[in-house]
């Protein structure tokens, strides 16, 4: 079956006055219609740059895709006019940004903001039809439709996040890119929000890439998982491959060890020591080598992804590749 998203050998660089930052290096990824993928890693791992490349919103004049291809719903995103891409934002792909306030216009009512997206993508519909759809979107995210005449500041943080989701879902995109949509919220609201996104995603058969540093969130919501480290995918598989296995990349293992367990003293929390690889250096060999307790000279050579199970890939020399490689 045709895939919704196919990324091959994607590399992204940021050119600043001081240096070049290699944000993403040789990334491959596939996502089917309706599938959910958790993109996990620390700040600076390249998760957001990957998402911004997909929706073609890398900071202009600074961020560049330097190699690779991105096919989204049959469209070659890197070789398509901006006007077509603009139409795809909202109708094919939507992004939920980290900070709800930056995504909402403070001087427009929330109803008008949902309406604005709908109007762009459904110019043929009457005002009454669009109004009805605004009401429906408000109710869908659990806010009474009569509040559509209010402004963003009249809502709590959790409510604002719901409105951002309503705006993102208004045109029923085929893919949602959700960049840590819950970090600013307290734990209870966080759980509700994730439940809501998951529920909507299932009802509308929307695919989702959830960007997070939180493995617990991924376990609850995602079918596939990609772990990124310093611009590279270092592990990729189904949620079972990652969560129910004894084969894990040492970095992924470190992420698991860093999760505080209930009933355990906090001082048992084992942070991953060391700094992430310098992003201004072009990668050579394993980027995790400076922090890895298993590192040897061999690790400094190029490390390809190795297939260790039917759907499980790890970029580390410790694992024997499966005989029947892909």
Q: How far is the CB of 304 from ligand SF4 (least distance, A)?
A: 11
Other CB atoms closer than 10 Å to residue 161's CB: what's the count? Answer: 28
Q: Which stretch binds ligand SF4 (CB under 6 A): 158-166, 182-190, 205-213, 312-320?
A: 312-320
Cβ atoms 192, 158 nearer than 8 A: yes
Smallest gap, in angstroms, from Cβ of residue 220 to ligand SF4? 27
- Cβ-based neighbour number of residue 214 at 10 Å: 17
Among 199, 294, 301, 311, binds ligand SF4 (CB under 6 A): 294
The correct pick among 104, 185, 292, 308 for binding ligand SF4 (CB under 6 A) is: 292
Nearer to ligand SF4, 184 or 295 (CB): 295
Give the count of beta carbons closer than 10 Å to the beta carbon of residue 253. 14
Q: Candidates 8-16, 102-110, 157-165, 310-318 — which segment interacts with ligand SF4 by CB under 6 A?
A: 310-318
Q: Which stretch binds ligand SF4 (CB under 6 A): 178-186, 197-205, 265-273, 294-302?
A: 294-302
Residue 316 near ligand SF4 by CB under 6 A? yes
Residue found by looking up tokens 């310098």 in the block: 278
Residue 228 is a binding residue for ligand SF4 (CB under 6 A)? no
Q: Using CB under 6 A, which of 133, 253, 317, 322 touches ligand SF4?
A: 317
Q: How far is the CB of 301 from ligand SF4 (least distance, A)?
A: 9
Instruction: Say if strands 75-76 and 63-72 run parallel, antiparallel, or are unpaired.
Output: antiparallel
Does residue 305 touch ligand SF4 according to CB under 6 A?
no
The CA-atom distances, in angstroms, between 188 and each of 158, 182, 235, 295 are: 10, 10, 30, 40
Q: Tell me, by CB under 6 A, how many residues bind ligand SF4.
A: 12
Burial of residue 33 (CB within 10 Å: 0-12, 13-18, 19+) is middle
Please state whether 263 falls in left (phi above 0), alpha (psi between -120 and 50) or beta.
Answer: left
Residue 304 is classified by DSSP as -
The binding site for ligand SF4 (CB under 6 A) comprises 250, 286, 288-289, 292, 294-295, 299, 303, 316-318
């Amino acid at each position: 079956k045709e895939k919704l998203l196919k990324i091959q050998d994607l590399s992204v660089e940021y050119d600043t006055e001081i240096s070049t930052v290699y944000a993403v290096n040789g990334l491959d990824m596939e996502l089917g219609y309706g599938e959910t993928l958790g993109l996990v890693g620390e700040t600076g791992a390249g998760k957001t740059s990957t998402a911004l490349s997909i929706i073609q919103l890398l900071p202009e004049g600074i961020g560049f895709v330097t190699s690779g291809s991105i096919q989204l719903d049959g469209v070659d995103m890197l070789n398509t006019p901006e006007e077509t891409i603009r139409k795809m934002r909202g109708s094919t792909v939507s992004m939920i940004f980290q900070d709800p306030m930056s995504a909402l216009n403070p001087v427009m009512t929330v109803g008008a903001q949902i309406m604005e997206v709908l109007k762009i993508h459904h110019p043929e519909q009457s005002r009454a039809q669009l109004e009805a759809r605004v009401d429906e979107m408000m109710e869908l995210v659990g806010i009474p439709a009569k509040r559509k005449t209010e402004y963003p500041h009249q809502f709590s943080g959790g409510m604002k996040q719901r409105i951002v989701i309503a705006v993102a879902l208004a045109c029923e995109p085929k893919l949602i890119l959700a960049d840590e949509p819950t970090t600013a919220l307290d734990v209870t609201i966080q759980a509700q929000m994730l439940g809501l996104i998951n529920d909507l995603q299932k009802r509308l058969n929307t695919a989702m890439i959830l960007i997070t540093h939180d493995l617990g969130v991924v376990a609850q919501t995602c079918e596939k998982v990609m772990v990124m480290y310093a611009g590279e995918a270092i592990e990729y598989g189904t949620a079972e491959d990652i969560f129910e296995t004894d084969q894990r990349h040492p970095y992924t293992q470190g992420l698991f060890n860093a999760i505080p367990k209930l009933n355990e003293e906090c001082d048992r929390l084992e942070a991953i020591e060391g700094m992430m690889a310098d992003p201004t250096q072009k990668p050579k060999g394993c980027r995790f080598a400076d922090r890895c307790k298993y590192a040897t000279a061999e690790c400094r050579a190029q490390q390809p992804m190795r297939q260790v199970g039917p759907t499980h890939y790890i970029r580390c020399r410790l694992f024997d590749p499966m005989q029947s490689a892909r």
